[in-house]
Structure formats: structure tokens, C-alpha cells
Amino acid sequence: MSNTILSLSSKFLKYFEDLGRFQVFVAKILKVMCTRPFRLSLVVQHAYNFGVESVFIILLTAFFTGSVFGLQIGYVFSIFRAESLTGGASALALATELAPLVTGFLITGRVGAAVTAEIATMVVSEQVEAMEAMGVDPIDYLVVPRVWASIFVMPLLCGLFMFMGIVGVYMTSLGIYAIDPGVFVAKIISLVEVSDILSGLRKMFFFSFIISFLCCYEGLSASGGAKGVGMATTQAVVKVLMLILISDLVISFIEVWWLR
């Protein structure tokens, strides 16, 4: 019994220690983000890696997500003879919920895991220590440019997801439920407001911080060779996905109950 209590309390202590370290890490990032030098070329390079190289997978996933969503929601509306609402309802769901959430998941898998693995490999092969030995702060060189790149690129990818998702919905709506294109667009315009699109982009903006902060943090905290790199990557992905889901609920709750 006492062993169980000891084990639990040490786990709690470790959790709070880790949380404290993460807070210090975030504070350092925010401080460095506001100070020179701004490493513009690194930001552009990471923005290219995060953004341009993710476009294809974002477009593909968005198209299929939109198509399936349109198919399912169209079926439900068809029961009530309200197929014409398919476009508007799907677009609303895509803008406020699906696009930021699925984009966040995709970016975590494609970019976040790669960032953690790359930084963790640099840690275990002494590259980060070499950087520090040369008087270069790893937060300044490795983390902050990635955070800036995430902030710029991820909301754009989310916007792209929204657009392509609606294209997917449009294809199924026209192809399967024979909805008039004019009606499809008119319902989107009447149901989806600019604030809905901004709400999705705002969520993605918030998720971009979660993804970049946590993935870089787990990478820099890695230790112990190849196994350590693997563990750091898994931990980063699991934590980011959980935190995205939790924060999505919190943000949605605030928006729906307090701001509307």
C-alpha cells in the first residue's frame, strides 16, 4: 500500500516537474520571439517544409473528408427532404470544426513527428550541445523559427482544407443527391458567416502553438539514443493529439456559450 502511494506521489511530482519545465520553456520561446536576431531565412525554409510539402496530403484528405461528410449528411437530410441544406451544413461543420481538427491531426503526424524526431536526433548526437558550445541558443535557432513558420503556415493549410472539403461536398451533393449548384452555393452563403471561418482559423492558430511548442519541447527533452528519439516522437504525437482535442472542446464551449 505504502509502495503504491509512494509510486503515485512520485509520478505526480514528476508530472508537475515536467509541467513546470514546459512553462519555463514556453516563457523562453515567447521572450526570444520578441528579440533579435529574426532568422527570416530559417522561417521561410521551415514554412516551405511545413506548408508546401503538406499541401498535397491536405488537399487529398480534405477532398475525401468533404465527400464522405457530404454523403453522410446528405443522406440524413434526404430523410427529411432537405437535401438542399447539405452544402451549407457541411460547410459550417468544415469551417468551424472539421478543418482545424483534421488539419491539426495531419500536421501533427506529418510535421510535428518529424520536428520532434529531427530535434531529438540532434540532441542525442550532441549536435545541440555543439550549438550551445558555439554560443548559439537552441531555442533561438531550432525552436523559434519553427514556431513562426507554424503560425504563418498552419492557418493557411486550414483554409485550404476548408475550400477543398467544400469541393468534396459539392461533388457528392451534385453527383448523388442532384442538388442544384446555385442552391448549394446559396445555402452556404446563408448558413456560413465570416465569423465561422474565422473561428476555424482561430482554432488552427491556437493548435499551431500547441504543435510547435510541444513537438520542439519533446525533441529537446530526448535522451538515450535511438530509443529515446522514438519515445520522444511518440510522446509528442500523443500529447499534441490529446491537447488538440481538449483545447478544441474548450474553445468551442467558450465560443458557443459565451461569445454567441
Q: Toward another protein, which CB reaches closer, 17 or 129?
A: 129
Q: Toward another protein, which CB reaches closer, 18 or 137?
A: 137
d(CA 21, CA 156): 31
Q: Toward another protein, which CB reaches closer, 114 or 243?
A: 114
17: contact with another protein by CB under 8 A: no
d(CA 72, CA 78): 10
d(CA 163, CA 94): 9
35: contact with another protein by CB under 8 A: no
Q: Are 107 and 211 in contact (CB under 8 A)?
A: yes
Rounded to whole angstroms, what are the CA distances from 195 to 22, 135, 169, 239, 255?
Answer: 33, 46, 21, 29, 11
1: contact with another protein by CB under 8 A: no
For residue 137, the minimal CB distance to another protein (Å) is: 7
182: contact with another protein by CB under 8 A: no
Tell which positions 220-259 bind another protein, by CB under 8 A.
Answer: none
d(CA 8, CA 52): 45
18: contact with another protein by CB under 8 A: no
For residue 132, the minimal CB distance to another protein (Å) is: 6
How many CA atoms lie less than 13 Å away from 152 in the CB half-sphere? Answer: 17
Site mask, another protein, residues 115-154, x = CB under 8 A? ---x--xx--xxx-xxxxxxxxx-----------------
Amino acid letter at 64? Answer: F
Question: Which residues are at the interface with another protein (CB under 8 A)?
Answer: 118, 121-122, 125-127, 129-137
